[in-house]
Amino acid sequence: MNRTVLGILASGRGSNLQAILDAILAERLKAKIGVVISDNPAAPALKRVKGFDIATAVVERQNYPDKHSFEQAVAAELNLHHAELVVLAGFMRILGSEFISRFSGRIMNIHPSLLPAFPGLDAQAQAIRYGVKVSGCTVHFVDEGMDTGPIILQEAVPVLDDDTEHSLAERILHVEHVLYPRAIGMYAEGRLQLSGRKVIITEKR
């Protein structure tokens, strides 16, 4: 069985990368990681795949004259390793329209809120400040807006009266680690169909 090749972009600790790797190793996810790319040479995410025969690449923004050439270099690494789905796992850069167009319908992200509520940075803090009773996480395809792409999966997490930004973030993260591999698995199985803004999930064959 052919496995969908993932190109994972990560800037930090890579906990969602770890969840994806664990799901692959446990045969819950029929995919393989072709390359892990980071804009941060010190990212712990890069260390998570050591010993697994998974390619890594560091593409630092400071080494390129502009955003366009930086993203060209990222795209070149993805193409070099035949990535079929680009997975953002804590990649702390906003991707430009040309990059998104090049991989249209093939870039996935996870966000720690129930979009369209609380897009952008510090979503958990936004939820606490607003006083919502329910938050959660959303897996979506990436478009040119800020966390505005078509929604694939969502799961709710209650917001407790004594929650802080950090306690809420930790509980949401546990759900992310289940939801993200599930969504990637649906893509790998050919079960996600885009119809305008709507993602239709078909039955498993």
Known catalytic residues are 111
Instruction: Give residues with Cβ within 8 angstroms of 42, minimum separation 6.
Output: none
Let me know: does 14 contact 45? Beta carbons within 8 Å.
Answer: yes
Residues in Cβ contact with 17 at an 8 Å cutoff, skipping those fewer than 6 apart: 8, 10, 36, 45, 48, 49, 89, 90
Question: Is-contact 108 85, C-beta < 8 A?
Answer: yes
